[in-house]
Structure 1
Amino acid sequence: MSLMTLATTITGGHDPDYYAGRADAHDEHTQGAALHVLDHRAHVIADLHPAPLYAAGYAARVLELRAETAAITAAETELAHDNAPTATS
């Protein structure tokens, strides 16, 4: 059983399709879809989806996920470098 993330009815004047696209990208990532898969889906959605703002929301969330992953990787790399054993002569 899966849970659906819904866009709220109060969107502050923004199109609900945008938030539906963001929610779908978030849900797919949470369910285990890899970033390269989400990136491919974003390109397909941009070409084929009838609601441009849905495609924009989906792509925006994928870009955020890429930035989050890059930041985590950088932090883990720095931590590993700081904790790496040093060579003694």
Structure 2
Amino acid sequence: MSLMTLTATITGGQHPDYYAGRADAYDERNSGTTLHELAHRSTVIADLHSSTQYALGYADRVLELRREHAAQAAAQTDLAHTGATA
């Protein structure tokens, strides 16, 4: 006799497609896709993908990546102007 194990899905209240979109954007960035290319893909996905949640997840991850990039650029600029070394 086998028993089925029930576990709660941890999705933070979001649809699983949302996390699939985030994961795809994450994977594409790690495979060398530029931020510009990701932003373009995000707009195409928003127009053509059948799942709105997937498109939202993809776009959210791209926006996070752009914010991370902007923060790093600002920090590096600050270091360059102050002459401090990291």
Using structure 2 for the length normalisation, give the TM-score: 0.84
Question: How far is 1:10 from its partner?
Answer: 2.7
Question: How far is 1:18 from its partner?
Answer: 0.2
Match of 1:64 in 2: 64
Match of 1:82 in 2: 82
Match of 2:28 in 1: 28
Structure 1: any 5+ residue segments left out of the alignment? 1-8, 85-89
Q: Using the alignment, how far apart are the partners of 1:72 and 1:13 within structure 2?
A: 30
Ranges of 4+ aligned residues in structure 1 off by more than 4 Å: none
**Greater alpha carbon shift after TM alignment, 66-75 vs 12-21:** 12-21
Matched-pair identity in %: 66
Structure 2: any 5+ residue segments left out of the alignment? 1-8
Q: Using the alignment, how far apart are the partners of 2:75 and 2:12 within structure 1?
A: 34
Using structure 1 for the length normalisation, give the TM-score: 0.81
